[in-house]
Structure 1
Amino acid sequence: MFLVYLEFLFGFKGQIIVNSVLTGVNVSVALRGWCFDILVSHKIAKHFLPKIITSLRNEGVEVRGCPQTKAVVHDVVEATEEDWYTEYLDLIIGIKIVNDIAEAINHINKYGTKHSDAILTANFNKALQFIREVDSAAVYWNASTRFTDGNQYGL
Structure 2
Amino acid sequence: MLRKGIHIVALGVLVSAPVYAVPVVPNFTQGSMTSNTQTTSKVTETINSMDYNTGYQFSVTGSGVTASGNLSPSTTDANVTINGVTSTWTGIDTKPTFTQTTPGAAFQFTETYQAPGLSNHTIIQRVTEVTSVTDTTSIFSQ
TM, length-normalised to structure 2: 0.19
**Higher strand share goes to which structure?**
2
* Structure with the larger RCO, 1 or 2 (CA within 8 Å, 6+ apart): 2
**Higher helix share goes to which structure?**
1
TM, length-normalised to structure 1: 0.18
Q: Which has the larger radius of gyration?
A: 2
